[in-house]
Amino acid sequence: MTTTHMLPPDRADDTADASSTEAEQCSCPDYTTSRRAFLRNAGLVSAGAVTTTMFGDTLRQAAYGATDGNVMVVLSLRGGCDTMSLVVPHSDPGYYRARPTIAVPRSELICADGSFGLHPSFAPLAPMWRRGQMAAVVATGLKVANRSHFSAIEEIEDADLSSEVRTGWINRLIGLDQMRAPLEAVSVGSGLLPTSLYGPEPTLSTVHPDDIDLAGPADAEARRRRRRALGQVWGQERGSLAVGARSSLATTATLGTTLQGGYRPAAGVIYPEGSFGEAMRDTAQLIKAKVGIEVVTLDHGSWDMHSNVGKLDAPAPASMNGMVTTMAKGLAAFFADLGAEGDRVTLVTLTEFGRRVKENGARGLDHGWGNSTLVLGAGVRGGYHGRWPGLNDTVDGDLRVTTNYRSVLSEIVTSRFGVSTSAVFPNFQPETVGVMRSG
């Protein structure tokens, strides 16, 4: 079966020149038929859901047991986040020299040590930082600079430069589990499947979990009749198509039973308005439902701020201050909502690249290289980690990368899932980062 790669607008390529409007669209010849259309036409899943290999041999007929194992949430900061505004190297004089109008003042930083401090709009997460449940790994990124939005995020989410087969690192991770199920890895919020989930193992993408249902009339009795009819049609058939159909039926039934009646966050928890707050709330809902999820991916963006990064008093949602405020409120609400369930949830941030050290003439930042990775939740060894190269040792004006992002992910995968990372990140030898506790 041929498939299509669905490219969201913020993943189209642009150059480091803010004036460029040229966009590079994906034209991969092996992704030419819409999964969403196929499933919808088959009458199995509503338009709110997409799967990678819904009809592949690796899908199991669902009757899988729900688990309450560890969960990893991967938050992608789309657009190339300037993490030097999030994790500020206040002890490096080069930072303030390079950013005379947009630097975060040293006096405004929170959770600071002698070298780094957090953007003040991270205040909702300060309690987690003080409890040692939040960490920042500085100077992370790709081994070689890649300033293209599209190809950089493809490289990060594939995470296997040696292979010509397009599979994502999360798909390889869940493939190590002997009890595979369609809900092990889910993308929430965009309805589009990230490259990290592409591959032979069953994965699913949805705008909202409540959207996942059989296509057809809204009438409940009509849906029940449709489900019975489809079950009879596919129940005795063999082959990968039948296996996928039965799995689709079982998946929608499981979610329909578990998520019926809507969702109410824990008492006192308020998510920020907008798509990011909704995605975080839906992620908490899925985790608390215990439907077998191990990995959830979602996005927050765009961080492509070529102009008008703004100062701390910038109220605009698209300013740096506005973006960090929304992010911090969403993450704080998410972990508060999880409550005790948070003891099994670890969240990590990724972005395709950092930004230039020096601000440009439009008081913005062009595409760069090194960035920082945030890790929150279960198993985290809080504080600042990594080797800071200094801003006097830049590469073409960019922060140098001293820790490959895969080393951070390897440490999370090993400590939380107990698997060898050689299959997840082939031909890569991770270095010790120290951001996760052992055992």
The pLDDT tens digits for 344-353 are 999 999 999 9
The answer to whether position 4 is within a domain reads: no
How big is the chain, counted in residues?
439
Quick check: 42 pLDDT over 60?
Answer: no
The model's confidence at residue 257, banded by pLDDT at 50, 70 and 90, is low
What's the pLDDT band for 9 if we cut at 50, 70, 90?
Answer: very low
Looking at residue 238, its pLDDT comes to 74
pLDDT band, residue 14 (cuts 50/70/90)? very low
Residues spanned by the domain of 404: 31-417
Residue 3 lies in a domain: no
5 within some domain: no
386 part of a folded domain: yes
Does residue 182 lie within any of the structural domains? Answer: yes
Q: What is the mean pLDDT of the chain?
A: 83
On whether residue 250 sits in a domain, the answer given is yes
pLDDT above 70 as % of the chain: 78
Q: What is the number of structural domains in the chain?
A: 1
Query: 258-276 burial, b if ≥16 CB within 10 A, otherwise e?
Result: bbeeebebeeebebbeeeb
- Categorize the per-residue pLDDT at 190 as very low, low, confident or very high, splitting at 50, 70 and 90: confident
Look at residue 303 and tell me if it is in a domain: yes
pLDDT digits (tens, 9 = 90+) for 374-422: 999 999 999 999 999 999 999 999 999 999 999 999 999 999 999 989 9
On whether residue 225 sits in a domain, the answer given is yes
Instruction: Name residue 118's beta-bridge partners.
Output: 87, 110
The answer to whether residues 327 and 219 touch, using CB atoms and an 8 Å cutoff, is no
Average pLDDT over residues 34-54: 39
- Kind of pairing between the strands at 345-350 and 371-377: antiparallel
| Model-wide pTM > 0.75 | yes
| HEC string for 219-273 | CHHHHHHHHHHHHHHHHCCCCHHHHHHHHHHHHHHHHHHHCCCCCCCCCCCCCCC
Percent of the chain with pLDDT over 90: 62
pLDDT of residue 11: 33
**Range with top average pLDDT, 33-42, 167-176, 365-374:** 365-374
